[in-house]
Amino acid sequence: MNARFPYEDPTLPVDQRVDDLLPRMSLEDKAGLLFQQFVMIGDLDAPGMFGSASIRELLAQGLTHFNILFAPSARQIAQWHNMLQDEARTHPLGIPVTIASDPRHHFTDNPATAMMAGPFTQFPEPLGLAALRDEGLVERFARLVRSEYRAVGIRAALHPQIDLATEPRWARQSTTFGEDAGLTARLGVAYIKGLQGDEVGPESVSVMAKHFPGGGPQKDGEDPHFSYGREQVYPGGYFDLHLEPFKAAIAAGVAQLMPYYGMPIGLAGVEEVGFGFNKDMITGLLREELGFDGIVCTDWGILSNTCWGVEHLTYEQRMLKALDAGVDQFGGEHRADVLVSLVRTGQVSQDRIDVSVRRLLREKFRLGLFDDRHVDAERADTIVGTTAARAEGIATQAAAHTLLTNAASGPARLPLRAGLKVYAEGLSAESFSGRATPVDALSEADVAVLRLQAPWEQRGDGKSFESFFHAGSLAFPAAEIERITQICRTVPTVIDIYLDRPAILTELAGSAAAVLANFGACEEAVVRTLFGEEEPRGMLPFDLPSSMTAVEASRPDAPFDTADPLFPFGHGLRYDDRSPQPIAAAAATESSPLPAH
C-alpha cells in the first residue's frame, strides 16, 4: 500500500509516526481508543454484548480494541479478524484493530478464570507450570501461545496473572504461579519473554500482566468481582512482597498492566478506593516510583459495576477519577461518548487524553498492525492445535501431577500395574482400555481410583457468573469424607484431585493408599500418570493447609502462614521414592532449598 501520510510509512520511526497521526485524529477517534469492549465473533452488525452497540457501530465510535470471548475454529477466528480489519480500514484514518484474549491454552472448565480453549492447544493451568519449576518450559509454552494467537489475529494477551496466592480460599488461584514471590517473578518473566520476545515488535503478542499491585490478599478469600469481596487487606505488612513479581515484569519490558478491582484497606497514606481509581497506586507508585510508562488498562467494568469505594459517584465522575488516577484505557466499557462530553465541557483536557492515546497508538505501531493487519486464514487451522503441540500439552499435564503420598506396597502402589480390575469415579471406562479392566462394584475391584476436585461452597444460583467462582471452605463435607473413607476401607484407593486452589486433605490422605494432585489435566493425562506412562514431576506451588481453623487464623497477605500445613510448598514425591511418606513437613520457599526428589 502506498503511504498517503507519514504515519503510514513503515520505514519511519514509531514515535514519528505517532506524532504525525495524533493531530489528524478527531476527538471522537481519540476517545474511542481509550475503551476495550467484549465482542462475539460473528456478524459485525449483530447486537453487542452487555448493552453495547454492534461491532460496526463501535468501530464508527472510534473503538479499535476488542476482547474476544468464545472461540470457534481457528480459521473462523482468522476470517472474522480479517473482516474486522477490512471494516476498520474503511474509516478515514484506517486505524487497525487490536484483538485481545484472556488465557485459552489450559485444560479448564471454569470460564471465570480462563476462556474455553476451543481450537487452541491445552497445557495444565499456570499452577501446573509452577509445579514443574521450569522457566524454559514456561517460555516455550508462551512462544506456542504467541504462535497460535498470531495465526488467528490475537495480538494482546490479558495474562499472565502474577498475583501471589497467599489467601488459600481465593477463587482466582488456578491462573497464578502460586504462593511464592520468587518463583512467580521468575516464571512471569519467562512468560513475558515468550509472548513479547526481547521487545515488542511485529512478531510479538503484547502482554497485559495482572493484577497490579497484587490481587491475592483478599479479605476472607472473597473475590472483588463481587461487593462482599471488595477489600484487600495487609495484616501481615506484606504489601511490598506482592509487588515483587510486578517489579520483575516491568524490568522485563512488560507492555501493559491491569490493576485489580479490590480496594486496599489500612495502608498508610493510600486512599481506600479500587485500584483502578487509585492515584496513589497508579500515578504515585506505578508511574513515578516504579517508572512504568506502558499502558494501564482497568479491569473489566469498573465504571459500570465493580466501582469499589466510589459507588456513590456518577458514571462520569468515576471516569474522571480513573483518568486522574492515571489509567489509559477502560476494559469492558464502551461509552466513548461520555469521554467526548467530558472533554468538550472542559472537565478533561485534550492534553490528558493525548498522553494515553500516544501510548495506545505506539503499541499498535510496535505490533506492526498499521503495516500488515491481516492473517492467513487458510493456514490458521494448520498452525493452531497441531498434533505435536497437543501431544506436548497432554504430556505436560501429566508431568505437572504432584505425588503427595504413595503406598509402600500393594495393588494401589503407584504406578498401577497393567491388568488390574479398577473401580473408577470421574474417569470413563474407555480411558482404561488396554491398561486395566473397569468394574462397576467395589467388591470386584483390586483397586479404586477416585478423580476428585478441590471443594468449594456454591455461590449464586449455580448458573450465574458468580457461581463459577470457587470460594469459601476448602474442607470436604462430612458426608463426602465418610463416603470416600468407606471406599478406602473397602478396597485400596488412589485419589487424583484437581487443585484449582488448596484443599483440606487431612482425613483423605490418611485413608487413601496414594494421593496425586493435578492442576488441569484431561482423562488421558490422568490415566497415563496413574499407569506410569508419564512420570509425575510436580512440586506443590502452595502449602496445603491441615485444617480450616489454620486457614481462618492465617493472614491473607502472608505467604506460608497456615500453621502446620499437611503438605508444604515444594512437596512432591517420585514413583521410585521408597522413603517414608510424611503427612506434614516444614515449608520450603524459593529462598530456601526445595526438597530433593
Active site residues: 299
Residue 305 CB partners (closer than 8 Å, separation 6+)? none
**Contacts of residue 384, Cβ cutoff 8 Å, sequence gap at least 6:** 74, 119, 120, 121, 148, 151, 152
Query: How many other C-beta atoms can be found within 10 angstroms of the C-beta atom of residue 346?
Result: 7
Place of cell 477490512: 86
- Return the C-alpha torsion angle 337, 343, 347, 349, nearest 10: 140
Picking from 237, 322, 243, the residue whose alpha carbon sits closest to that of residue 275 is 322
Ordered alpha helix ranges (H), 12-121: 14-21, 27-33, 55-60, 74-89
The C-alpha cell that represents 293 in the structure block: 510508562
DSSP symbol at 18: H
The one-letter code for the residue type at 103 is: P
Q: What is the torsion angle, in degrees rounded to the nearest 10, for the CA atoms of residue 375, residue 376, residue 378 and residue 379?
A: -110
Whole-Å CA distances, 244 to 216, 240, 247: 13, 7, 5
DSSP 471: B
**Alpha carbon distance 155, 251 (integer Å):** 21
Q: 35 near 333, Cβ under 8 Å?
A: yes
* Contacts for 290 with CB less than 8 Å, ≥ 6 apart: 246, 247, 250
Amino acid at 375: V
Residue from 180, 190, 95, 97 nearest 141 by CA? 190
What is the separation, in whole angstroms, between the first and last Cα of the chain? 59
Q: Which one-letter DSSP state was computed for residue 476? A: P
Dist CA 156 CA 175 (whole Å): 17
Residue with cell 496473572: 161
Three-state SS at 366: helix
- Residues, the chain, total? 597
Cell readout for 228 is 462482599
Distances (CA, A) of 43 to 37, 70, 245, 331: 16, 14, 40, 22
CA 220 from chain center: how many Å? 21
Backbone φ, ψ for residue 244 (5° rounding) = -55, -45
Look-up: residue for cell 467526548? 340
Whether the Cβ atoms of residue 142 and residue 191 lie closer than 8 Å to each other:
yes
Q: Cell numbers at residue 366, please?
A: 510496535
CA distance 64 to 373: 13
